[in-house]
Amino acid sequence: MPQGDIGDRGASVLLAKLEKTYAGVTAVAGVSFDIQSGEFLTLLGPSGSGKTTTLMMIAGFESPTVGDIRIDGASVVAVPPYRRNIGMVFQSYALFPHLTVAENVGFPLKQRGVPKAERARLVGEALELVRLPGYGGRYPRQLSGGQQQRVAVARAIVFRPRLLLLDEPLGALDKQLRENLQIEMRRLHAELGITFVLVTHDQDEALTMSDRIAIMNEGKVAQIGRPEDIYDRPSNRFVAGFIGQSNFLSAVVCGVDNGVVVSNYKGILLRAVTSLRPSVGAEVILTTRPERLRFADSVSDSGSTDNRLAVTVTEAVFAGERCRYVVKADAGITMVLTEASSAVIRRRVVGEHAEIVWSVADTILV
């Protein structure tokens, strides 16, 4: 399976008003979006958000109560899983312990009646792709967790599907190995050119691996977009709170000017960007990321329109590459600020009085 053998063959997927109920309980509630050919899309959300149920409906292991699933324009709702030609990777690996690596990887080919010599060639190419050449004679028990997961991926791609579904594939691995395999999965996606759909509850994993992310909550899509758009411009409080860490401020709108909301927080004017036009006097929630906050005395050429608050440091934690501070504004709100750990950046101490500053562009109305 040399590079380019599958290129541009990724399947497109369309979910149209997809619903799934179990005994009157709604697991997926009217989900509609499209996945482009060759795209890496991640379904991200907390437990019970409907992400795994959605993936299982694409795979064919669950049938929608209402709605349609189209792969390359053709409805597959009535098509059984084995006829959808979809690769699937599970968190549990699901390898056969009594079969060798080569036999595990070649199992889908054997089921399809591929001749032995052709199976051997395709298995060898799949193991090369996942960087396990020469491992064909080993058994799963002789492999590490990361190697077993690579074998599971090789088995899922050996029959050259146009769509690969991954259900929490790295969830059982330790942090360092998981991070290494995230990069490997991105490489594999680029080399294969097929469509990947990943389910995870790990925010960093989704941000690292995805072309787009669909944030799910209570059976619905809360927001879908590129990782940077979702992180920098969350559409609502749930997304802002679920992706990364956020500070929230309640304020009252004083006015709107060229996409900037001017609001009043206990006598302090704060500005935020928005595509909305809230009415004067409306109560709104402003959010900003901890790493976007800075202590005013460490910021050069700070703009006069930046948001500012007088604070007292109530907690200071050294966390290796970053320092994390909890600060309490004189007006009463508690916020979190993080900054790089460096010999040239002065560390703050509990009880220190300071002023924090952050850009209007980094303040979002949700």
Question: DSSP secondary structure string, 133-170?
Answer: TT-TT--GGGS-HHHHHHHHHHHHHTT--SEEEEESTT
Contact 132, 54 (CB under 8 A): no
Burial 3-28 (b: 16+ CB within 10 A, else e): eeebeebbbbbbbbebbbeeeeeebb
Q: Which residues on neighbouring strands pair with residue 343, listed in sequence order? A: none
The average confidence (pLDDT) of the chain is 90
Question: DSSP letter at 251?
Answer: E
CATH class of the region 245-365: mainly beta
Contact 59, 81 (CB under 8 A): yes
pLDDT at 6 over 70: no
The domain limits of the chain are: 13-233, 245-365
Query: Rounded to 5 degrees, what are φ and ψ at 36?
Result: -80, 155
pLDDT of residue 73: 95
pLDDT at 19 over 70: yes
β 212-217/40-44 pair status: parallel
Contact 315, 325 (CB under 8 A): yes
> What's the average model confidence in pLDDT over 328-349?
87
User: Measured between alpha carbons, how far is 58 from 52 in angstroms, rounded to an integer?
Assistant: 10
β 195-200/163-167 pair status: parallel
> What's the average model confidence in pLDDT over 301-322?
84
pLDDT of residue 302: 53
> What's the average model confidence in pLDDT over 42-55?
95
CATH class of the region 13-233: alpha beta
pLDDT at 264 over 70: yes
Query: Rounded to 5 degrees, what are φ and ψ at 249?
Result: -130, 130
pLDDT of residue 2: 38
User: Measured between alpha carbons, how far is 241 from 201 in angstroms, rounded to an integer?
Assistant: 14
Element (H, E) at 16: strand 13-22
Query: Rounded to 5, what percent of the chain is helix, strand, coil?
Result: 25, 35, 40
Contact 264, 251 (CB under 8 A): yes
Q: Which residues on neighbouring strands pair with residue 25, listed in sequence order? A: 22
pLDDT of residue 7: 41
Structure tokens at 156: 């899922």
Residue-wise pLDDT tens digits, 83-138: 999 999 988 888 999 999 999 999 999 999 999 999 999 999 999 999 999 999 99
pLDDT at 51 over 80: yes
pLDDT at 343 over 80: no
pLDDT of residue 299: 63
> What's the average model confidence in pLDDT over 234-252?
92
Asked whether the CA dihedral 326, 329, 332, 333 is positive or negative, the reply is negative
Comparing 3 with 72, the larger pLDDT belongs to: 72
Residue-wise pLDDT tens digits, 279-310: 898 999 999 999 999 998 866 655 567 899 99
pLDDT tier at 173, thresholds 50, 70, 90: confident
pLDDT of residue 284: 92
Enter the pTM of the model: 0.88
Residues 6+ apart with CB under 8 A from 228: none
Comparing CA positions, the residue from 247, 293, 284, 253 lying closest to residue 269 is 253
pLDDT of residue 321: 85
Question: DSSP letter at 276?
Answer: S
User: Measured between alpha carbons, how far is 169 from 149 in angstroms, rounded to an integer?
Assistant: 7
Tell me the residue length of the chain.
Answer: 366
